[in-house]
Amino acid sequence: MGSTTLRIARLALYLAWTLPLMPVQALGLLFRRGWVTTLPRFYHRGCCRIFGLRVRRIGEPTPKRPALFAANHVSYLDIEVLGSLIAGSFIAKAEVAGWPLFGWLAKLQRSVFVDRRVGSTARQRDAIAERLAAKDALILFPEGTSSDGNRVLPFKSALFGSVVGPNALSPVAVQPVSVAYTRLDGMTIGRDLRPFFAWYGDMAMAPHLWRAIGLGMVEIVVEFHPPTSFAEGGSRKALATYCEAQVVAGVDAALSGRARGFSKLPPVEMMQPVPTDIPATASG
């Protein structure tokens, strides 16, 4: 299923888009330039265009910082989708850091790598809390793994403790975000087609990616739900419960076609330009 020609073209465009921007971001991190938080969003928007991901947004990401965005996880494509909307960093599994190319990209976006084994939770929680104390925005997948896209898995509460840990010096805005893959070339994606985009279980990444990028235009509905805080929630478990309920409702509405209130995303020519204060040696 899908076009081999389209796959090759998309891969070529992706590499032509990605490889020149990697040293730009690296230089920005080296010289501590402010645009290192916004350049990834510009980059991910370009990736969405290349891979035919049409993102339809409902609501707005909270402008408050620090912020923790809690989203359901369907696929590695979620990184491009959420990265195109949120100027922040991801909380990723420790093994991602060792992946070729994708691990480098995650490091360039200042991802926080966590080991979810029992016994390391406190250390990982404090690492996240330190970033939040620095008024960063982080994107968390509380399910702990990706799902089949038809449902939301139970949210784990452990890492929500980062918003109340010893390093959480500022009130943290916690915003639930639902992600749903809804249409392929304008046609509703049913349960039989959703595994073409959802990456879960023991699926091998390379053949799944090869298949996914050969398909047409995919519509993804992303809904930003009302943010909350520890002060309003009362506990990390209450925060997890609130976020899970909001995300479940958002995914159900999107998959059933009941989602409303889409915000029109800017076309490519209106997207945020590359920052103008990039060192001259990086651009040319």
Could you read off the pLDDT of 146-157 as tens digits, one per residue? 888 889 999 999
Q: How confident is the model at residue 268 (pLDDT cuts 50, 70, 90)?
A: very low
Higher pLDDT: 207 or 170? It is 207
Instruction: Pick the more confident residue, 163 or 183.
Output: 183
pTM score, whole prediction: 0.88
**Residue-level pLDDT at 170:** 66
Express each pLDDT in 107-127 by its tens digit: 999 999 988 666 666 778 888
Q: What average pLDDT score do residues 137-161 get?
A: 91
Torsion sign over Cα 228, 231, 232, 238? positive
In the prediction, which pLDDT does 63 show? 96
56 or 123: which carries more pLDDT confidence? 56
Contact 17, 274 (CB under 8 A): no
Q: What span, in angstroms and rounded, lies between the C-alpha atoms of 231 and 174? A: 11
Within 8 A by CB and 6+ apart from 192, the residues are: none
Mean pLDDT of 148-168: 80
> Rounded distance, CA 46 to CA 72, Å?
23
pLDDT at 138 over 60: yes
Cα torsion for 116, 156, 196, 80, to the nearest 10°?
Answer: -80
pLDDT at 273 over 70: no
Mean pLDDT for the chain?
86
Residues in contact with 41: Cβ distance below 8 Å, sequence separation at least 6, in sequence order: 83, 84, 85, 86, 87, 272
pLDDT for the residue 274 = 35
Q: Give the mean model confidence (pLDDT) for residues 87-98.
A: 93
Q: Which residue has the higher pLDDT, 1 or 236?
A: 236
Cα–Cα dist 28/31, whole Å: 5
| Residue 218, strand partner residues | 53, 184
- Amino acid 164: pLDDT: 66
Whether the pLDDT of residue 101 is over 90: the answer is yes
Q: Report the SS3 class of residue 30.
A: helix
Range of weakest confidence among 51-55, 79-83, 227-231, 244-248: 227-231
Give the type of residue at 113: F
Q: Is the pLDDT of residue 44 over 50?
A: yes
Does the structure show a pLDDT above 60 at 279? Answer: no
pLDDT of 153 reads 94
Which helix H or strand E contains 171, and what residues bound it? none
pLDDT confidence of residue 120: 67
Rounded Cα distance between 160 and 263, Å, is: 29
Predicted confidence at residue 16, as pLDDT, reads 98
Q: Are 145 and 200 in contact (CB under 8 A)?
A: yes
Over range 41-68, report the average pLDDT.
97
d(CA 26, CA 32): 10
pLDDT for 259 beyond 80 = no
Q: Could you give all domains of the chain from N- to C-terminal order, each with its CATH number?
A: 4-283 (3.40.1130)
* Residue 235 binned pLDDT confidence (cut-offs 50, 70, 90): confident
Taking the C-alpha atoms of residue 57 and residue 261, their distance in angstroms, rounded to an integer, is 8
Percent of the chain with pLDDT over 70: 85
Residue 260: per-residue pLDDT:
66
Confidence of residue 14 (pLDDT cuts 50, 70, 90): very high
